[in-house]
Amino acid sequence: MSQPPPTDEKLLHERVLQKDPVVSTEVFNRYMERLVKAVMKQRGLVEDDANQCAVDAIFSYLSNPTRYEPGRGRLFSYLMQTAKRRACDKRRAAGARDRKHQKFGSDVEHGELASNGVLENSVEAKLVMERLEKRQILKSERDKKAVKLILEGERSTKRLAEALELGPLPWDELKREVKRHRDRLLKLLVRFGQSLERGGKEDSDDES
């Protein structure tokens, strides 16, 4: 799709400023495809992410068109700069997530989590829980509750027993059961951390 002449862009921009009810569709039709292709080529994004960057750039322009100054360059160039900034934001966010996941994987693989039961500021417990649930590693609600407590550093036998729904048991037996489940879940977390290090997938736990 060829770039519209500057005079056409100027008229299009004036219609945007005047809030023409159909102009937003024309802006998308004129620029969307070219923006997506350019972002994919220049920023190396997959098509879905490039689409989102292009959509964000166009909506940003349509919601505040006075930021664009026609005398300083073509409208497509303005939209492209916005789309590239969105692409950089996406890559930085993805990189930060990857670093957090790798740090968590390294911690649990080297036994730090298993040795003291505390997630030492490597990844928020909520983020880890989201990844565990997304991969369907935790089968039951009781395991989810118990793992969340473990990630938060909880060591109380009573609280873990409540999360695991162990019911009324003699104290010594209750402690043994809590330890058994806690060890099982810690092993699961270690395997999960190793899978993050490898970038692979972890199977769900079959033990009960």
pLDDT digits (tens, 9 = 90+) for 137-196: 887 899 888 888 877 777 788 999 999 998 888 998 999 999 899 888 877 776 776 665
Which is nearest to 9 in space by CA: 22, 23, 176?
Answer: 23
pLDDT at 119: 46
pLDDT of residue 52: 83
Q: How far is CA 122 from CA 150, 153, 186, 193, in A?
A: 14, 13, 16, 12
For residue 37, give Cα distances in angstroms to 2, 88, 100, 104, 107. 13, 16, 30, 35, 40
Q: Residue 76: pLDDT band by 50, 70, 90 thresholds?
A: very high
Quick: pLDDT tens for 28-41. 999 999 988 988 88
- Predicted TM-score (pTM) of this structure: 0.45
Distance CA 61, CA 76 (A): 11
